[in-house]
Chains A and B, each alone.
Chain A
Amino acid sequence: QVQLQESGPGLVKASETLSLTCTVSGGSVNSNNHYWTWIRQPPGKALEWIGYIYYSGTTNYNPSLKSRVTISLDTSKNRFSLNLSSVSTADTAVYYCARANLYLKLDPWGQGALVTVSS
């Protein structure tokens, strides 16, 4: 059974870079059947898709965040990472990682990591 776990700093200063890692267990990120995905949810608000990375290294980002987002893959450690640069308080959210199939079905999800951006 595949499980995902987010990790990283819970507090980031405005204008700096938010960095999170998602460690995958019970499955391999080196899979041609899945997209490794990041989603976020500001407090009290809806889900927002950030982007995904494929095992080949191909990425796809939400146009609204594209200029600030980088998602990378570390197959040796079976994990993938999110970098979001030049953050502001509007980036305060719970950040989730998830596995998506080729039709973008998101399952399973990690438990989520709250990241607060301080001004």
Chain B
Amino acid sequence: QSVLTQPPSVSAAPGQNVSISCSGGSSNIAINYVFWYQQFPGTAPKLIIYDNNERPSGIPDRFFGSKSGSSATLGITGLQTGDEAEYYCGTWDSSVSAGLVVFGGGTKLTVL
């Protein structure tokens, strides 16, 4: 059971927009930055959003992040077949004395 809650799957057609939610709590998302990672089968995760809504260089502006309270959202506009992947949210959790990194359970994006 992951600390952060994501829907197991979302789907949409090419060209459409989609959003993936990430729900946490007062000790994690509410007070810390949220990160999003994209993972294709058999490969390592790749950072696509950091500090809630910033994109690393090379990540298209079709990907955007937002945060409100203890929840965060990854949005993708103009879906492409190459966006089909697993997406994970992550953040720092301050519920234990030394803190720890926590992740969501992952969301499988299918581009129909």
Contact = CB atoms under 8 A, between A and B. Distances in A.
Interface of A: 37, 39, 46-49, 60, 62-63, 96, 100, 103-112
Contact of B96 (A48, A63, A100): A63
Given A47-B103, A63-B96, A103 B47 contact: no
A37 B91 CA distance: 14
A27 to B, nearest CB: 16
Pairs of residues from A and B, 9 with the lowest C-beta to C-beta distance, nearest first: A49-B101, A107-B47, A109-B44, A47-B103, A105-B50, A46-B105, A60-B98, A104-B92, A46-B106
Contacts of B50: 103, 105, 107
Contacts of A104: 33, 35, 90-92, 101
B44 A112 contact: yes
Nearest to A94: B44
Contacts of B32: 103
Contact of A62 (B35, B46, B90, B100): B100
Contact of A96 (B45, B51, B91, B106): B45
A47 B35 contact: no
Nearest to A107: B47
A105 B101 contact: no
Interface string B80-110: 0000000010111000101111111110000
B44 to A, nearest CB: 4
B85 to A, nearest CB: 14
A46 B2 contact: yes
B51 A103 contact: yes
A111 B47 CA distance: 13
B60 interface: no
Contacts of A106: 35, 37, 45, 47, 90, 101
Given A46-B88, A46-B104, A47-B90, A109 B98 contact: no
B47 A105 contact: yes
A110 B43 CA distance: 10
Given A46-B2, A46-B103, A96-B45, A105 B88 contact: no
A103 B33 contact: yes
